[in-house]
Chain A
Amino acid sequence: GESVGLHLPTLSVQEGDNSIINCAYSNSASDYFIWYKQESGKGPQFIIDIRSNMDKRQGQRVTVLLNKTVKHLSLQIAATQPGDSAVYFCAERGGATNKLIFGTGTLLAVQP
C-alpha cells in the first residue's frame, strides 16, 4: 500500500473567527506564489496568487501577505466557515524552470 505520510501541521479555529496560515519559502529568487485549497478526495483548488512586486493582495474573504525579507507568505481567511476546512498548500515559482514548488500543507479544521 501507500507509505505512511507525515503528520500535517494543523490549525484549529472556531467558526466565524479569522484564520492565518503561514508558509516559509526557500528560494529568494522566487517571483510568484500561489495558495491552493485541497479538500479531502479532491485536487488542489486555486485560491489566490501574488507576484513578488507586491506585498499584499486581497480576494473574496482571503488576503495573501508576502514578506520577501524573511521569505514568508501568509493566507488570511476572514470569518472562517466550515466549508473552509481543508488542507492549504503554498507554492512558489522562480528561476528558469517555471516549476511550482509546493510547501508542506496545513490542515485547517473549523469547529462549529
Chain B
Amino acid sequence: DAMVIQNPRYQVTQFGKPVTLSCSQTLNHNVMYWYQQKSSQAPKLLFHYYDKDFNNEADTPDNFQSRRPNTSFCFLDIRSPGLGDAAMYLCATSSEANQPQHFGDGTRLSIL
C-alpha cells in the first residue's frame, strides 16, 4: 500500500493560474519535503517541514509556497505558474531529518 500519496498524478494548468498539489502520508513521519524534478535531472529540494517548522531553500522562487495543516498532509502552492515550472513534483517524508526519505510517485505538472 502506498505510504506517501500524491494527488493528482497529472495536473494541467494555464500560464499564471494558481495551482495546488497535495501530498498525504500514512507513516506519521515528522518531516515532509517537496522536490522539483525536471526531465533527466536529479530531484531538487524546494523546502521541507520539520513538524510545523518551515524550511525554505535559498534558491526556491517566491512563486512557490507550502502549507502543512497537520502531520499527514502537505500542500505545494504555485501562485503564478510559468512555463519553466513544468516538471514532476515529488513529495517525500522521513521520520527524522537524518533518516531515509520515502518518496511518493509525484505529480507531473504541465503548463499551457
Interface residues of A (CB under 8 A from B): 1-8, 32, 34, 36, 41-46, 49, 89, 93, 98-100, 102-105
Contact = CB atoms under 8 A, between A and B. Distances in A.
14 contacts: A1-B86, A1-B110, A1-B111, A5-B39, A34-B101, A43-B90, A43-B92, A43-B103, A46-B100, A99-B45, A102-B42, A103-B42, A105-B40, A105-B42
Contacts of B104: 43
Interface size range on B against A: 20 to 34
Nearest to A39: B105
Contact of A4 (B39, B42, B83, B100): B39
Contacts of B29: none
B97 interface: yes
Nearest to A8: B40
Interface string B13-33: 000000000000000000000
B70 interface: no
B100 A49 contact: yes
A99 B44 CA distance: 11
Nearest to B85: A2
Closest 6 CB pairs of A and B: A5-B40, A5-B39, A43-B103, A102-B42, A98-B97, A2-B86
A3 B101 CA distance: 27
Contacts of A46: 100-102
A102 to B, nearest CB: 4
B38 A5 contact: yes
Contacts of B103: 36, 43-45
A3 B84 contact: yes
Contact of B38 (A3, A41, A49): A3
Contacts of A100: 45, 101
Nearest to B102: A46
B93 to A, nearest CB: 11
Contact of A6 (B6, B41, B102, B106): B41
